[in-house]
Structure 1
Amino acid sequence: MRKRIVRYLLALLGIGAIGAAVFLFMFIRPLPVEVARPAEAVPVQVFGLGTVEAHILSKIGFEVGAALVELNADHGDRVSQGDVLARLHNGEQQARVARAKAGVVNGEAAVKMAQAAVGKARAVLAQKKLTNERKQALLSRQTVSVESAEESQMEVDVAAAELAVAASDVDVAKAALEDARAQYQLETVLLDHHVLKAPYNAIVVERHKELGSVLAPGEALFTLVAPETVWALAYVDEARAGDIRVGQPAEVRLRSLPRQMFEGHVTRIAIESDRVSEERRVYIACDHCPDRFHLGEQAEVFIRTAALDKALLVPETAVEGFDGTKGVVWTVEDGDLRRREVTFGNRTLDSRLEITGDLPDGAQVVTTLHPGLREGRAAKVTEEAAP
């Protein structure tokens, strides 16, 4: 019985010794930790995912409706400003133009006739005035009757009125001529609307109709794009978009060319963000573009917002309670572990935060959180984490 008790006590002592050893090993011995070290020439980038788009992309068609009788461009063709892309059947409109032109000729003839009538009325008035002057002189000598002199004066007044009417007829004829010319110009413009020309130097993205199709006014026939205006539209998380500015350098990687990076710069930042996805639209103009482009292709965008000459960076996973500006980190100070609230600045693309303030001199920041971290515990710096 006594031997059994002794064995039992020895077993308990052994377990206790093992437990004490484990406790000392786990909680008393210096905890090996990794700490951050200053990094140099650190680029600060913001990532955005988007698509290839174009600033100038147009769906063009005719302003009038008719049957399509000529097509001179197709998918992928390069066209120059003013090139004729297509024509509509225009026989009916040509007839309208001819009728309007005839109206102009008639108007010009009417103006000439009215002007001739003015000349005739002016000559008649001059003749009537001379006759009236002679009769008025004879009346003073009582050679003619008063009635004859009054009749002569009345004829002068009538001739003057006829001259005024003739002059008004000239104005009416001129107004009618201007109306005819305007109608002719209108019909000519409508005739020109049967011809579709390229509004700028472009690439044909798509041709929507074929020969013989009857188009409605305004219906799209071609989709054109100005190749020099191709850009990448990137959607950037609002939480990361605050430091983006127009003109900042950027790199674009296309899904079809994953091993190449194309240089560009921020050319526009949308004023309105997406209220659902909470993303900001950022447009990247290409400085060195690929030979070919495909609208709508997925693109990855990396915008450089800053470059840090020298910075102390800590992984975001090693920060507790980060609110965008401040957070708590573990530090090694005089060989012991401490918790410190520090201030952060930039955040790198690989989720590292720049410590900008509230860190005591000589303190080293722990980069990996361990279960054994405890205030005041001894720590041993094993190896600094690579930046």
Structure 2
Amino acid sequence: MKKIIITLVVLAAAGVGIAKVLSDNKAENQARIDVVSKVSGVVPVKTFSVHKESIQLDFLANGNFVPNQDLKFMSETAGRITAILVKEGSRVQTGQTLARIEDKYLTLDVQSAKDSYEKIKSDKARFESSLKTGGVTQSQVDDISLQLRNAELRLEQAEKRLGDAVIKAPISGVINKKHIELGAYVSPGTALFDIVDVSSLKLVVAVDEKRVVLLKTGSQVEIKVPVFPDKTFTGTISFIAAKADNSLNFPVEIKVNNAKGEAVKAGMYANAMFRFNQEAPVLAIPRSAFVGSVNSREVYVLQPNNTAAIRKVVPGSVFGETVEILNGLEEGDKVIISGQINLSDGTAVEVVQN
């Protein structure tokens, strides 16, 4: 029992000692806080001296080449392939015969449709002759005329199917892939050939909204292809999208002449350099000078008495991290570019090394 009491007394004494140490530490920390509080009204900041500078408008965009035309050619009729006249890699011209489909029954259909048409045509002539003598009525003549028009349409359809049995290239280009084999049966919609026109290529790049407004169709663009480091190609802007994609960039197409079809190939990666004439220097400040964002149109300006004054400005064009200022600042003003989160209008500041 005595041992327990002694132990409790010792622990109580120790607790008093610990409490005193904590109390002393708290007092010391509070003293430090008080010291900091006394000088906390002066906020360290970095500044930027407003001046005119020439804005660099040139920019680089990356993309891949796509062919001028990339066509998956489908069959328009049904039948068995009896001849294939080209192979993968063959260059073809518009109208060139690529393959043939068995046309025996298609020819018979044409002949049948033609015989029917000729018979109805003769019947119509007899009906019109009989109408003059009263042998038939006008209604009968009208009916035979309708039958003749229908027979003519059936003949045209049969001739179209027969013509489709001779598969001809709809565009000029290269047979990039052959989907059929000799003896295969095809139906309307069956893939026959992939034809790629690489006589000219299109470099497709994505340009953000700040830069797309600088572009115009017809402008010349310098193009570098990494696989040809010693060559420089020239293209022409042929298309600028009117609507941004999901990443808020605008697709831009640059047409490159590739008549020889050997150097640049579809799918290759390339860099497009958009160059612009040097413009007159403009008043500009860093984007970081704005309170929150450029849309706030507010910056802090360092006053002669080392205080920060909020000021409304009118921003112009944005060039990366540089923002043109149209109104609200003058050359020589010092804007605060760091520490704004701790500022309010009239706060005392201390400029640290920029």
TM-score by length of 2: 0.63
Q: Could you tell me whether the CA contact under 8 Å between 1:253 and 1:261 is conserved in 2?
A: yes
Q: Could you tell me whether the CA contact under 8 Å between 1:343 and 1:357 is conserved in 2?
A: yes
Alpha-carbon shift at residue 282 of structure 1 (Å)? 2.1
Matching of residue 191 in structure 1 with residue 203 in structure 2: no
Matching of residue 62 in structure 1 with residue 108 in structure 2: no
Deviations 1:128-175 (A, max 9, x none): xxxxxxxxxxxxxxxxxxxxxxxxxxxxxxxx9993226877776666
How many residues are aligned here? 303
Q: 1:153 maps to which residue? A: none
Alpha-carbon shift at residue 186 of structure 1 (Å)? 1.9
The SS at the match of 1:308 is: coil
Separation of aligned partners in 1, 2:154 and 2:134: 29
Q: 1:358 maps to which residue? A: 328
User: Structure 2 vs 1, CA of residues 178 and 378 (structure 1 numbering), >3 Å: closer, same or farther?
Assistant: closer
Matching of residue 71 in structure 1 with residue 41 in structure 2: no
Deviations 1:101-151 (A, max 9, x none): 33344445x449937x95xxxxxxxxxxxxxxxxxxxxxxxxxxxxxxxxx
Q: Could you tell me whether the CA contact under 8 Å between 2:209 and 2:248 is conserved in 1?
A: yes
Instruction: Note the 1:134-283 alignment, pairs <5 A.
Output: 163-165=133-135, 176-227=147-198, 230-238=201-209, 241=212, 244=215, 246-247=217-218, 250-254=221-225, 256-257=227-228, 262-274=233-245, 277-283=246-252
Separation of aligned partners in 2, 1:295 and 1:214: 32
Q: 1:94 maps to which residue? A: 107
Q: Could you tell me whether the CA contact under 8 Å between 2:81 and 2:185 is conserved in 1?
A: yes
Unaligned runs of 5+ in 1: 1-26, 119-159, 382-387
Separation of aligned partners in 2, 1:326 and 1:305: 28
Deviations 1:37-70 (A, max 9, x none): 6444x44145544433346432222211222222
Deviations 1:188-214 (A, max 9, x none): 111011122222333333332232322
Q: Could you tell me whether the CA contact under 8 Å between 2:52 and 2:283 is conserved in 1?
A: yes
Higher alpha-carbon deviation: 306-315 or 73-82? 306-315
Deviations 1:344-377 (A, max 9, x none): 43333x64333443332434779x969xxx9776
Q: Could you tell me whether the CA contact under 8 Å between 2:204 and 2:254 is conserved in 1?
A: no
Unaligned runs of 5+ in 2: 1-41, 340-346
User: Structure 2 vs 1, CA of residues 177 and 321 (structure 1 numbering), >3 Å: closer, same or farther?
Assistant: closer
Matching of residue 52 in structure 1 with residue 65 in structure 2: yes
Q: Could you tell me whether the CA contact under 8 Å between 1:47 and 1:236 is conserved in 2?
A: no
User: Structure 2 vs 1, CA of residues 162 and 202 (structure 1 numbering), >3 Å: closer, same or farther?
Assistant: closer
Matching of residue 310 in structure 1 with residue 281 in structure 2: yes
- 1:273 corresponds to which letter in structure 2? A
The SS at the match of 2:157 is: helix
Identity of aligned residues (%): 20
Instruction: Note the 1:320-339 alignment, pairs <5 A.
Output: 321-323=292-294, 326=297, 328=299
Separation of aligned partners in 2, 1:263 and 1:288: 8
Separation of aligned partners in 2, 1:326 and 1:259: 46
Q: 1:85 maps to which residue? A: 98
Matching of residue 114 in structure 1 with residue 85 in structure 2: no
Separation of aligned partners in 2, 1:323 and 1:49: 27
- 2:207 corresponds to which letter in structure 1? V
Alpha-carbon shift at residue 295 of structure 1 (Å)? 3.4
User: Structure 2 vs 1, CA of residues 55 and 305 (structure 1 numbering), >3 Å: closer, same or farther?
Assistant: farther
Alpha-carbon shift at residue 96 of structure 1 (Å)? 1.4
| Rg comparison, structure with higher value | 1
User: Structure 2 vs 1, CA of residues 354 and 161 (structure 1 numbering), >3 Å: closer, same or farther?
Assistant: closer
Q: Could you tell me whether the CA contact under 8 Å between 1:313 and 1:355 is conserved in 2?
A: yes
Q: Could you tell me whether the CA contact under 8 Å between 1:248 and 1:304 is conserved in 2?
A: no
Q: 1:11 maps to which residue? A: none
Deviations 1:200-231 (A, max 9, x none): 33333333223232222112222234446632
**RMSD of Structure 2 on Structure 1 (CA):** 4.8
2:266 to 295, 318, 330: 295
- 1:103 corresponds to which letter in structure 2? S
- 2:79 corresponds to which letter in structure 1? A
The SS at the match of 1:232 is: strand
- 1:310 corresponds to which letter in structure 2? P
Separation of aligned partners in 2, 1:162 and 1:52: 71
Separation of aligned partners in 1, 2:237 and 2:300: 35
